[in-house]
A and B are shown apart, each in its own frame.
Chain A
Amino acid sequence: DTAVSQTPKYLVTQMGNDKSIKCEQNLGHDTMYWYKQDSKKFLKIMFSYNNKELIINETVPNRFSPKSPDKAHLNLHINSLELGDSAVYFCASSQSRTGFAGELFFGEGSRLTVL
């Protein structure tokens, strides 16, 4: 029973297309995140939601739009895909009752390839 699940795991698409990656967690956590693993393998925070409210929005192009329909889901929609968007995107969740110290539980990542 996967705690944090992302779909799809692999996505190959053409430049200019719009695509979405979905994330669901069954841990009862109230905070969810999107991270991008860049070409140098670094994990960089993109967005964070707490109880469906956006709390962190890093300098990400506005072609990226997160949507949290409820606290168990955080989807990432990307418009007008560019070659530079190719990366592995990780969803994560944590429990905020310990403040910001809650450990992150990661999904398995979604590898996006833009051709």
Chain B
Amino acid sequence: ILNVEQSPQSLHVQEGDSTNFTCSFPSSNFYALHWYRWETAKSPEALFVMTLNGDEKKKGRISATLNTKEGYSYLYIKGSQPEDSATYLCAFISNAGKSTFGDGTTLTVKP
């Protein structure tokens, strides 16, 4: 059984705060790491696909880093806005093509 763990489980921040969350995953059989944003009553949408150790990706105020040797990825949000409120999922993709999702970090940004 693969363990993909995300922390914290939930996070409440004020508008304008910067925040980050962690995804930890097995360091063996790694193929890719995905980050998804999942708003209530919608379906998950991809933020980043990361494949190489040391990868850093950025989309607007959101960025992510990847360390495949130690098995973790960080997602950063700079200057959080209420519209950033969502659950952020990471998914570990093994070299057999199987995806294992973490249980998500639910972010609430208060105006």
Contacts and interface: CB of A to CB of B under 8 A. Distances in A.
Interface of A: 4, 33, 40-45, 48, 55-56, 58, 90, 99-109
Determine the main DSSP class of A at the interface with B: mixed
B51 interface: yes
Nearest to A45: B99
Interface of B: 31-32, 34, 36, 42-46, 49, 51, 89, 91, 93-101, 103-104
Nearest to A43: B101
Given A44-B101, A100-B93, A107 B31 contact: no
B49 A48 contact: no
25 contacts: A4-B43, A41-B103, A42-B103, A43-B44, A43-B101, A44-B101, A45-B99, A45-B100, A48-B98, A55-B97, A56-B96, A56-B97, A99-B32, A100-B32, A100-B93, A101-B31, A101-B32, A102-B49, A104-B34, A104-B36, A104-B44, A106-B43, A106-B45, A107-B43, A108-B43
Contacts of B93: 100-101
A103 B49 contact: yes
